Amino acid sequence: MRKRSAGAVWLGLLVAGMPDPGRVLIAVGLERTDRPDVLDVLRCTQSVESVFAGMGVPVEKLFVHSDDFPGLERVREEILCRTPLKVFNLFEGFSGDSGKEISFASMLENLGVPFTGNPSKTLGRCLDKESAKQLLAKGGIPVPRGVFIDKPGGSPWKGLEFPLFVKPCFEDGSVGIQKDSLVQEEAGIERTLRRKLKEFPRGIVLEEFIPGREFNVGFLGTPPYEVLGVSMIDYSRYSGSLPFLHYGSKWDPACVEFNEILPVLEEGIGSSLRESLVKTARKAGEVLGCRGYFRVDLREREGCPYVLDVNPNPDINEDSGFARQGQKRGYSYPEVVERILAYAG
C-alpha cells in the first residue's frame, strides 16, 4: 500500500465523514519510576501527540500526579479551562495502584467531556480479573476454571486440574507474572500462593493453565465493533522459552522471550478457528461494555477458545501489536490514532 502523509490521512477522514476532532488534550500519569510498562505509556503520549501535531490538530498534554487524588480538583479545573476539547485518555493509574484509572475516567464522565477508550464501568470490570471472569462465564463465554484467593490457607486448588496458573487479580501488563506463575503440581503450591499473596495482598487468581496457542483480537468502535486483526503465538516454536507471556517477555530487552517471541498476524489460523476466536472475543467485549478500542487475549484448548483477559485501552504505541494489526488491515498509524479519537464518547 502506498504511504500517505498524515495531512492526507486527515483530509481523507474528513471526506469519509469523520467528525472534526476539535482540540485534543492527552491525559497521562506522571510518576517517578523506572518501570518499563509505565515509561512505555509516556512514549505513547509522544507518538500520539506527533500524530495530531502532524495533522495540524491543536494538541496539549495534561499530566496527572498521584497527589491530584482523591479530589482531582486541579485536573478538573485544567480541563474546564481548555474547552472545547476531547480527552485522549492515556492515564492508566500509577504503579501498584491501577484503580486510579477508574476514578479518572469517572471524573471525565461527570464533567461530560468526551474521552477516548473505555468508560469507567468497563475499566472497573476488566481491572478485576475475577469479576470479569464471572461476568464472561455468565454470558456463556469459556474462561479457565479457577478461584479467587485473598488469604492463605485451605486447599483452594482442590477440584482444579493441574497445571495451574497464578496471577494478580488487580494488575495488567503481565505485572506479577513470572516463572513461578505456572504451577505444575501440588508440591510447593502453598508456598507459591503465600508468596504471591504477600506481593499482591488485594488478591490473586488461581486457574487452570490453558496450554494451546495464544491469540489476541484487536477491536475498534462500538458493538458489534470493527475487528482490527488476529495475532497468534505458538509457544511450541520456542523450545527454550516459558509457554506464557511473563513480565520479562513483554518488557525486558535482556530477556530471551522479549527478543524471540513475536506474535504472527493473520497467519496459520484456520478460517473456522478464526471465526470462533472473533465471535468469542467480540462477545467478551460486549459483555464487559467495551468501547473505542480494546484487545481480547485468548488461548485454545481442543479447538475451543478460552478468554484469559480483556484489555480495555491496550498499548497503542507505534510498535505495539495493536498498531501492527491496524497496519495489516491497511490503516497507517495516524489512521489508527484518529479512529480511536473519532470513537471518543
Does position 133 interact with ligand ADP (CB under 6 A)? The reply is: no
Query: Given candidates 98, 122, 174, 241, which one binds ligand ADP under the rule CB under 6 A?
Result: 174
Query: Given candidates 40, 49, 300, 309, which one binds Mg ion under the rule CB under 5 A?
Result: 309
Q: Which among Mg ion, ligand ADP, none contacts residue 128 (Cβ within 5 to 8 A by kind)?
A: none
Site mask, ligand ADP, residues 69-98, x = CB under 6 A?
------------------------------
Task: Tell me whether residue 309 or residue 335 sits nearer to ligand ADP (CB atom).
Answer: 309
**Closest alpha carbon to 316 in 292, 297, 300:** 292
Site mask, ligand ADP, residues 178-217, x = CB under 6 A?
-----------------------------x-xx---x---
Residue found under cell 496450554: 211
> Least CB distance from residue 230 to Mg ion, whole Å?
15
Return the residue nearest ligand ADP (CB atom). Answer: 309
Residue found under cell 492515564: 91
In sequence order, the β-bridge partners of residue 216 are 231, 297
Q: CB within 8 A of 275, min separation 6: which ones?
A: none
Neighbouring C-beta atoms of residue 232, cutoff 10 Å: 20
User: What is the distance between the alpha carbons of residues 69 and 264, in angstroms, rounded to a whole number?
Assistant: 41
> Least CB distance from residue 294 to Mg ion, whole Å?
11
User: Which cell goes with 131?
Assistant: 469479576
Q: Which among ligand ADP, Mg ion, none contacts residue 37 (Cβ within 5 to 8 A by kind)?
A: none
Does position 335 interact with ligand ADP (CB under 6 A)? The reply is: no
> Least CB distance from residue 63 to Mg ion, whole Å?
26
Going across the sheet that includes 226-233, the strands are 264-265, 226-233, 214-221, 292-301, 304-312
Q: Which among Mg ion, ligand ADP, none contacts residue 338 (Cβ within 5 to 8 A by kind)?
A: none
What is the signed CA dihedral for 316, 321, 326, 328, rounded to 10 degrees? 160
In angstroms, how far is the first alpha carbon of the chain from the final one? 31
SS3 184: coil
Q: CB within 8 A of 283, min separation 6: which ones?
A: 139, 140, 141
Q: Which among ligand ADP, Mg ion, none contacts residue 167 (Cβ within 5 to 8 A by kind)?
A: ligand ADP
User: Which cell goes with 324?
Assistant: 501492527
> Least CB distance from residue 11 to ligand ADP, whole Å?
37
User: What is the distance between the alpha carbons of residues 123 and 289, in angstroms, rounded to a whole number?
Assistant: 9
User: Which cell goes with 236?
Assistant: 511450541
Does position 207 interact with Mg ion (CB under 5 A)? The reply is: no
Q: Binding segment for ligand ADP among 23-31, 101-109, 169-177, 269-277 (CB under 6 A)?
A: 169-177
Q: Binding segment for ligand ADP among 12-20, 33-41, 154-162, 165-173 (CB under 6 A)?
A: 165-173
Q: Which among Mg ion, ligand ADP, none contacts residue 132 (Cβ within 5 to 8 A by kind)?
A: none
Sign (positive or negative) of CA dihedral 171, 202, 62, 121: positive
Positions in the binding site for ligand ADP (CB under 6 A): 144, 165, 167, 171-174, 177, 207, 209-210, 214, 244-245, 297, 299, 308-309
Positions in the binding site for Mg ion (CB under 5 A): 297, 309
